[in-house]
Amino acid sequence: MISSFEGINLYTKDTAALAKFYAELLGVPVPFEGFGNYDGAKIGFDKGQPGLIIWDENKWGKHTTGVVNLVFSCGSLDETYEQLKARGLDCQPPATMEYGGKEMNFRDPDGNGITLLEGAYC
C-alpha cells in the first residue's frame, strides 16, 4: 500500500529555467538536478522529503492535468516580500485573509499558482 507522499510533478518546456526560478528567486533548494541536462529536477528542502519534481515536457509530454497551486510557508511574509521584490519578482504585497492568516499569491513562469503563508494553515 501507499507508504509516503513523494511530491508533485510539474511539466515545463524549460526545466532548467523553472528550477532556477524556484532555486534562485524563491530560495528553494534543488537537492536533485535530474538525469543529466535537467531531464528532471527535484526542488525541496531535503532529498528525502516531498518536493516538486520538474520534468521536461518536450521529452516526456505534458502530464499536468488541471490547476496547480503550490503553498510554501515562511516566518515573516513582509520580509520575504521585500527580499523577493529585490530579486525582481513582480507581485502584490501580502494581505491578511478572512481566516486571519497572511498570504501572498503570484505565478511561476509557467503559470502555476504560488501561495506564500506566514506560518502554516494548521
pTM exceeds cut of 0.95: no
| Fold held by 67-121 | 2,3-Dihydroxybiphenyl 1,2-Dioxygenase; domain 1 (3.10.180)
Residue with cell 537537492: 31
Whether pLDDT at 15 is above 90: no
Q: What's the burial of 69, exposed, middle or buried (CB within 10 Å: 0-12/13-18/19+)?
A: exposed
What confidence score (pLDDT) does residue 104 get? Answer: 94
User: Residue 97's pLDDT is what?
Assistant: 85
Enumerate residues 6+ apart whose C-beta is below 8 A from 22.
Answer: 28, 30, 43, 52, 108
Domain residue limits, the chain: 1-65, 67-121
* pLDDT per residue as tens digits for the range 58-76: 888 877 666 788 989 898 9
